[in-house]
Structure formats: C-alpha cells, structure tokens
Amino acid sequence: MLRNSVLVGTLGIGEEFPVRVMGILNISPESFYAESVEVQSEEIVAKAREMVNEGANIIDIGGSSTAPAAYYDAKKVSTEVEIERIEHALEVLTDAVNVPISVDTTSSQVAERALELGASMINDVSGLQADKDMAQIISDGNVPVVVMSSCASTCTSIKQSLHSLKRSLHIAKRAHIEPTKIIVDPGIGFGKAPNIDFDIIRELERFTYLGHPVLIGVSRKAFIGFFLDQKDPSDRLEGSIAVTSIAVANGADIVRTHDVKETAVACRIGKKLRRAE
C-alpha cells in the first residue's frame, strides 16, 4: 500500500527515505532511564550534539515522564513546570544543532509554547486524546505530529492498538490536520503485556496499512527486560538493538532511541532486510 511521506522541516520521513533516527533527550528527572536525563544548559547542548554526530536526524525532548507509574513510579509534573523545562531546552538548542526538534508532550499548552519557540514537530503519546485542544493546536501550527496508540494496559491485542490509532486519525481529520503531517506509533510498552509488544513488532506491517509513516520506540523498555530478565534499563541495550532491526525490517520508518550510534546501524541492517515492495 502506498503511504504518505512526511516532511519534518526539510527532513523526509517515509518508505522512500532512509530510516530516520530520533534521539531521546529527557529533561525530566522523573524519566525511567536516568542516563537519558540532562537538565543543565551545557549538558543539554552537549548531549544533543553528541546524538547528531552519532547519526540522529531528529532530537525529541521531553519535559515530563510518560513512563507507566506501575513500572517505574514515574511522577507527573505540572504544566507550568513542563513548559519551563521545554522553554529552557528549546532556547539553548535552537542554534546549537541543525536537525529538527520534536517535543514529547500530551499538553496543548506545552505544544503551543514549543511551536512558538521553533519546535518542528509534536510527539503526542495520547494520540490527540488526552487534551481536547491538542489537535487544533497542531492544525493551526501546520506541523507534523506523531500520534501514538494510547490504549496502554487495556490493549490486549493488535486489533485494539490499531483501533486506538484509527480513533486518533479520526480526531486529526476533524481538526483538518493534513494526512501528510501524520506519523503513527503503535505504542510499544506503556503498561501493555509483554507478549502484546512482541506481537506488534512481529506484525508491524499491519500498522503500515494505515497509510502513514510508522515510528517505533522500543529503547530499553520493560518488555525487553521481562523477556531477558533484566530489571535495570541500563542492561537492555543489546535487546533493544535486536528488536529495532526486526521492527525496521517489518516497516518502521523512524526509530526513537536513547542509543543513537547503535540504533543507526540496526536501522541500516533492518532496511536491507526489508522485503521488496
């Protein structure tokens, strides 16, 4: 099936382009993987530049942890705190790196401020479903958005995950968000049973039939630790890379990761393994 391509700034994302790498830059101390967290200006810039040098095509910054509290005791912060963090990061990164900056948020207020400060894309793990104003902010800003399947722990099948994404796509359509501005994310983790996450990776091609580029985020997540008996996220690099290569072979167009250098290699191998269209 022919899928839309998406431009993030001038960066093309889709099946006719190389698989893109999205480097994770958390500015939220509550994040589940402590080694991904930077809060000081110099550290934020240094980490972003390091990721770009290692092959990151996009930097995704998050000011509030989205990890499931049941697994990591992640605590939510106020919208005001999230905005402060995002403002700080965008102000120091705008001229520091030459790749698009994405902002990971479910808040329309945070998204609106991020776009005012030059963010190129919004990454909404609620799939436009947590904040009734988010879709309109995206539409008015005419920027790309990642919509994630948000059924979380209630997802007991691939069918349910797809249904959640279809609901998000309906919200986007009602807000007049152009189809060429949408990237879909099947939502690995977020409290799902590990076997469901593995099923999604195994059958990722089904998500490509939605007609949009597919983003996958498996980096150091709990389903890998569950299978390999690795409770500490810092032990999950090898498992993450193995899953990444298979996800790309099965259709992923962009990979969100804490480990850019290794992921970039896995993406190249995975793309080579992809079946000819």
The one-digit pLDDT tens for each residue of the chain (277 residues) are: 678 999 999 999 999 999 999 999 988 776 655 565 567 889 999 999 999 999 999 999 998 876 554 444 556 788 999 999 999 999 999 889 999 999 999 999 999 999 999 999 999 999 999 999 999 999 999 999 999 998 766 778 899 999 999 999 999 999 999 999 999 999 998 888 999 999 999 999 999 999 999 999 999 999 999 999 999 999 999 999 999 999 999 999 999 999 999 999 999 999 999 876 5
Q: What is the pLDDT of residue 152?
A: 66
Q: Which contiguous run of DSSP H or E holds residue 60?
A: strand 58-62
Q: What is the pLDDT of residue 209?
A: 97
98: closest CA among 38, 13, 11?
11
Q: Count CB neighbours of 196 within 10 A.
A: 22
Look at residue 183 and give its three-state secondary structure.
strand
For the chain, the first-to-last Cα distance in angstroms comes to: 9
Amino acid at 14: G
Amino acid at 51: M
d(CA 235, CA 195): 20
Helix 108-116 with 134-141: angle, nearest 10 deg:
20
d(CA 123, CA 106): 8
Q: What is the pLDDT of residue 38?
A: 66
Look at residue 22 and give its three-state secondary structure.
strand
Would residue 1 count as lying in a domain?
Answer: no
d(CA 145, CA 135): 9
Would residue 129 count as lying in a domain?
Answer: yes
Q: Tell me the CATH number at 154.
A: 3.20.20.20
Length of the chain: 277
Would residue 17 count as lying in a domain?
Answer: yes
- Domain of 110? 6-273
- The dihedral over CA atoms of 89, 248, 234, 259, expressed in degrees to the nearest 10, equals -40
Amino acid at 132: K
Q: What is the pLDDT of residue 53?
A: 98
Enumerate the β-bridge partners of residue 147.
Answer: 124, 184
| Parallel/antiparallel/unpaired status of strands 58-62 and 101-104 | parallel
d(CA 58, CA 102): 7
Residue 123 structure tokens: 């990454």
d(CA 271, CA 240): 16
Q: What is the pLDDT of residue 112?
A: 98
Q: What is the pLDDT of residue 71?
A: 46
Count structural domains, the chain. Answer: 1
Q: What is the pLDDT of residue 156?
A: 83
Q: What is the pLDDT of residue 116?
A: 98
Would residue 241 count as lying in a domain?
Answer: yes
Residue 13 structure tokens: 């994302």
Q: What is the pLDDT of residue 72?
A: 42
Yes or no: say if 125 and 165 are a contact pair by the CB < 8 Å rule. Answer: no
CB proximity list for 162: less than 8 A, separation 6 or greater: 149, 206, 207, 210
Q: What is the pLDDT of residue 190?
A: 86
